[in-house]
């Protein structure tokens, strides 16, 4: 079975028997660590028991500490379950890589990611200064658009400041939906409006990656300028 490999700064990830995805580390748009919240990882944003950390968006000290922990996890004893790297570039290529797969391949990408981090940040800053958008596609070719204003799906739109949570839902272990729920909505099968802002039938193997794409924008939403009382401010 083919393994993940790193040649210079190009990471090649096998997906199935014949498909391969190659990602140049200095050209990545998205580099996220996804971890179960029961661990000791920094929780930045969460969905259904997972935390999502933008490794190119946190400060140098934080990313250095996280990189050391990731490397230790890859090289250490035991199985690093519940940990993934989510990567995506500007051309639509992406991969969700379990740290367990990196351990089996005896491959630690963190030093190479550290060396190329500044190049990624400069390119992402330039991209964000324009009119950036990301398109997510489902298994049938339908898509949703993410930009700095919010989530667009056909004629339906929800602004990021109106999003209370991001969830994925898998039915019968096969059909997976990405859902953006407004503040005050808890989801669940008896919430019949939970699919109002959603992309249905997404690839099940990339549901965490699609959620990370949403969190990327949520963490950059404009700050509210509404007046708050002191008690409201202290309760945040």
The DSSP result for 23-88, as a single string, is: EEGGGEEEEEEEEETTSSS--SEEETTEEEEETTTS-HHHHHHHHHHHHHHHHSSS--TTEEEEEE
Residue 59 Cα distances to 34, 54, 75, 84, 148, angstroms: 17, 10, 24, 20, 22
- What radius of gyration do the chain's Cα atoms show? 18
Q: Are 12 and 99 part of one and the same domain?
A: yes
The pLDDT value given to residue 48: 54
The pLDDT value given to residue 104: 93
Residues of the domain holding 179: 133-218
Q: Which residues contact 107 (CB under 8 A, 6 or more apart)?
A: 3, 4, 5, 6, 74
Q: Are 139 and 123 part of one and the same domain?
A: no
* 230 belongs to a structural domain: no
The pLDDT value given to residue 77: 86
Q: Are 48 and 10 part of one and the same domain?
A: yes
Task: Give the Cα separation of 76 and 16 in Å (integer).
Answer: 27
pTM of the entire predicted model: 0.87
* 236 belongs to a structural domain: no
Q: 74-126 pLDDT, tens per residue? A: 999 877 888 999 999 999 999 999 999 999 999 999 999 999 999 999 999 99
* Burial class (CB within 10 angstroms; exposed 0-12, middle 13-18, buried 19+) of 212: buried
- Could you give the number of structural domains in the chain? 2
The pLDDT value given to residue 41: 41
Residue 41 Cα distances to 176, 209, 225, angstroms: 27, 18, 31
Q: Are 24 and 93 part of one and the same domain?
A: yes
């Amino acid at each position: 079975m083919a393994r993940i490999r790193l040649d210079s700064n190009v990471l090649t990830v096998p997906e199935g028997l014949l498909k391969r995805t190659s990602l140049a580390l200095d050209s990545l748009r998205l580099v996220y660590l996804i971890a179960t919240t029961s661990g000791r990882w920094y929780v930045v944003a969460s969905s259904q028991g997972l935390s999502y950390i933008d490794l190119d968006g946190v400060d140098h000290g934080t990313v250095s500490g996280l990189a050391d922990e990731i490397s230790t996890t890859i090289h250490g004893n035991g199985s690093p379950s519940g940990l993934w790297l989510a990567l995506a570039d500007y051309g639509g290529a992406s991969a969700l890589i379990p740290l367990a797969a990196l351990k089996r391949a005896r491959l630690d990408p963190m030093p190479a990611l550290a060396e190329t981090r500044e190049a990624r940040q400069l390119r992402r800053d330039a991209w964000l200064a324009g009119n950036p958008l990301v398109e997510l596609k489902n298994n049938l070719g339908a898509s949703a658009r993410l930009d700095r204003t919010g989530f667009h799906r056909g004629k339906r739109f929800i602004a990021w400041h109106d999003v209370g949570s991001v969830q994925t839902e898998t039915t019968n272990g096969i059909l997976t939906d990405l859902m953006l729920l407004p503040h005050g909505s808890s989801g669940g099968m008896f919430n019949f409006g939970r699919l109002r802002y959603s992309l249905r039938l997404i690839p099940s193997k990339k549901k965490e990656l699609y959620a990370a794409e949403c969190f990327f924008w949520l963490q950059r939403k404009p700050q509210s300028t509404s007046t708050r009382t002191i008690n409201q401010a202290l309760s945040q």
